[in-house]
Structure 1
């Protein structure tokens, strides 16, 4: 082994100035990363070639809608939403996942379809896809190819605590003959 011509390199011993420089560099990276953030993700469906949404048609906004949900003293909140033309009429609908803003526990979700009437700008609920009385929560949710797809978490019996759902169910709803029809892939439920 050959010995180095330089006795000891200066940068092999840490000094307080090295720690100050490192802390300054880390603080600079953190500050820069807080300024340069990616755009927020949304569950909204992008208009594809099969979309026949009328130009200028706005999707219904779930804000201020009276959902058929009993929350007592707390408010109903929209936790997820997505929009797209589900019935092929050229106007977008909005699907909203809503639950009570409970301070503790896991409140069940309701999944509602909203539309605007041709004579009214106020959105209204036209269908309930998941009723909160069924004690299910929505873990995944999307609009794809004119259908609503969701992964639902539920309970095998009333003895299962509401903190710990033990049943997973995949569901898909499509518009058929004037109503939303649920289809569930075979073997989708698991306990």
Structure 2
């Protein structure tokens, strides 16, 4: 048998570490692709140059301006603290989720979380679901909307004796549409703060 004139190269033979490195790289690419999503689609103009009003409005997310949120604010006004838009029910039309509270000069007023959609005539927004009722005395933090799931951390109180300044419960929650209603899930390790 004749020996090769070129010495044997170590990198030409696969070893288990090479397969582990390849699998790790592929896993990283797959994980990264779940965070990078394409932008929202926009409606194309028709060939005649006119645009159907209802098709255009359906592509627009519901706004929060002019919506009568069910809050008891007295002389104060309702303030939309946070909002996010996405297709929550898979019908191809975006919904808006809004975190709303009364505009208070003192303290931390409780939040309400509402899901908005467009009315049948596509001219106005309407509330279709309440995810957090302000009567529950909860404050919403870490608010997100990602791939049809609404997520938040709720700060609350273990009893009515706990002062409003100092919530003692911290609960991460998610809501997802199941075809009939928004289902709330809470991890079993929710804890006091």
The question of a shared fold, defined as TM-score above 0.5 by the shorter chain, is answered with yes
Unaligned stretches of 5+ residues in structure 2: 1-34, 44-55
- Retained in 1: the 8 A contact 2:144–2:152? yes
1:96 to 81, 95, 98: 98
Q: Quote the offset at 1:63 in angstroms.
A: 1.4
Q: Quote the offset at 1:67 in angstroms.
A: 0.4
Task: Give distance in 1, aligned partners of 2:149 and 2:84.
Answer: 11
Q: Secondary structure at the match of 1:89?
A: coil
Q: 1:126: which partner in 2?
A: 128
Give the root-mean-square deviation of aligned CA atoms: 2.0
Task: Give distance in 2, aligned partners of 1:134 and 1:177.
Answer: 25
- Retained in 2: the 8 A contact 1:86–1:175? yes
- Retained in 2: the 8 A contact 1:54–1:91? no
Show CA shifts across 1:53-108 (max 9, x none).
67351111111110011100100000000000000010000000000001111100
- Retained in 1: the 8 A contact 2:89–2:179? no
Is residue 48 from structure 1 mapped to residue 46 from structure 2 by the alignment? no
Q: Quote the offset at 1:140 in angstroms.
A: 1.1
Q: 2:119: which partner in 1?
A: 117
Q: 1:58: which partner in 2?
A: 60
Note closer, same or farther for the CA distance 1:131–1:47 as it changes in structure 2 (3 Å cut).
Answer: farther
- Deviation >6 Å, runs of 4+: 51-54
Is residue 158 from structure 1 mapped to residue 172 from structure 2 by the alignment? no
Task: Give distance in 1, aligned partners of 2:41 and 2:89.
Answer: 11
Q: 1:7: which partner in 2?
A: none
| Number of corresponding residues | 145
Report matched runs for 1:71-86 at 5 Å: 71-86=73-88
Is residue 141 from structure 1 mapped to residue 143 from structure 2 by the alignment? yes
- Retained in 2: the 8 A contact 1:136–1:154? yes
- Retained in 1: the 8 A contact 2:79–2:100? yes
Q: Secondary structure at the match of 1:133?
A: helix
- Retained in 2: the 8 A contact 1:167–1:190? yes
Q: Secondary structure at the match of 2:69?
A: coil
Task: Give distance in 2, aligned partners of 1:131 and 1:47.
Answer: 33
Task: Give distance in 2, aligned partners of 1:169 and 1:160.
Answer: 16
Tell me the TM-score normalized by structure 2. Answer: 0.70
Report matched runs for 1:4-83 at 5 Å: 48=37, 55=43, 56=56, 57-83=59-85
Q: Quote the offset at 1:119 in angstroms.
A: 2.0
